[in-house]
Amino acid sequence: MAEYDQDNVFAKILRGELPAHKVYEDEHTLAFMDVFPHAPGHTLVIPKAPSRTMLEADAEDLCHVMRTLQKVARAVKEATGADGIRIMQLNEAPAGQEVFHTHFHIIPAYEGQRPKRPTEMAPPEELAAMAEKIRAALE
């Protein structure tokens, strides 16, 4: 297995070296807006403990992530008015993983709409506004 890269973008977000539009944070997990969203409200949930993939993550860390994932997914669905929610998790480059820190995608889904592959970053003001809506739905 490849070694965990302490300089991956999510590790830098966790250390406060890069900005993120945070939605939820606790002792074990962080949820924030994906800057290349497949749909408005696309949110990521990560463990704070370092692990390259879910296959290498500590089981207890994954339990914390699952609790956060469920909580945030409910809030994303409410905040976006989505008809459904896609949960996506990829392990290693052949599966499509691009950032090598365990993470889960929460992607709002709508009746009659296919998911899109983003080609550009979302405007920061849109991400900030959506993060605020999701935080409000968590309360």
> Which residues have a catalytic role annotated?
103
Query: H-helix or E-strand containing 44?
Result: strand 43-47
* Cβ-proximal residues to 70 (8 Å cutoff; 6+ apart), any chain: none
Amino acid making up residue 51: S
Helix 124-138 crosses helix 59-80 at what angle (to 10 degrees)? 100
- Measured CA to CA, the distance from residue 11 to residue 52 in angstroms comes to 10
Place of tokens 């459904």: 84
